[in-house]
Amino acid sequence: MTFGFASSSAASLSTSTASAGRLLEPAEWAAAKIPLLRNPREVVSGLHARHHPRPSTAIVAVLDPDERLRASASFTRRGAPADGWMLRNALLSQLRRVIPHDLRRRTPVRTAVLLYCREGDARWTEEDGAWMWGLRDACTLHGLRCGAYITLTHDGWHVLGEGRGGRRPNAHSAPEPFATADAPPPAPRTGGPVSEVLRRAAAR
């Protein structure tokens, strides 16, 4: 352990946040056994294509048991100091707006994940810890499983606590096309002998 003196403003911010217990350290997040995403890049690319995030944009998304997207919402975080309680309230407000709660279920079925686009690199920050705390608490209050917390920076995307990530998309890249799963179903084929028979039968 290292001892030293911090500036008064930095020390007061760190003390107030830590004393409130409204942030999670990486070790605490890992110990929570957050469910792993089967295909994190697909989730990240899909959310990036839908919401076009820029730094300070948060995207909360709800996935079904097959990891299909059921709802998502994005919003911009204000410049106030990161506080887990305030971030929890912001996330809960977005969840209530886009999807009904699952509080009547004995066991959560759907999972909420959070993608936060920010400046800096992929290393954990106190702001990340506040988002983690906020996501976990918002999920509990909305009857959801707490899922992955993902940062999107100029270096790329990174799933905190898992060590998985990629260079694209990143905080400044153009959105990629939607995945095939998000594409509309193909139009029914027309023409051919079968279609001609059906057309004649319908005309009778």
Omega before 169 cis (within 30°)? yes
Q: How do the domains of the chain map onto residue ranges?
A: 20-170
pLDDT at 162: 85
Q: How far is CA 203 from CA 43, 195, 200, in A?
A: 47, 12, 5
| Counts for the chain of helices (H) and strands (E), in that order | 6, 6
pLDDT, tens digit (0-9, with 9 covering 90-100), for 92-112: 999 999 999 999 998 999 999
Residue 124 confidence class, pLDDT cut points 50, 70, 90: very high
Residue 76, beta-bridge partner list: 57
Q: How far is CA 124 from CA 7, 29, 127, 172, 200, in A?
A: 21, 11, 8, 20, 67
Instruction: Say which residue, 140 or 176, is predicted with more confidence.
Output: 140
> The tokens of 198 are what?
């059906």
Closest CA to 98 of 136, 62, 143, 139: 62
Q: Read off φ and ψ for residue 176, nearest 5 degrees.
A: -85, 160
pLDDT, tens digit (0-9, with 9 covering 90-100), for 10-65: 434 444 444 457 999 999 999 988 999 999 999 999 999 999 999 999 999 999 99
Contacts (Cβ under 8 Å, ≥6 apart) of 100: none
> Could you say which of 1.10.540.10, 3.40.50.1380, 3.40.140.10, 3.40.1010.10 is the CATH number of the domain covering 20-170?
3.40.140.10
Percent of the chain clearing pLDDT 90 (strictly above): 67
| Rounded Cα–Cα distance for residues 176 and 134 (Å) | 29
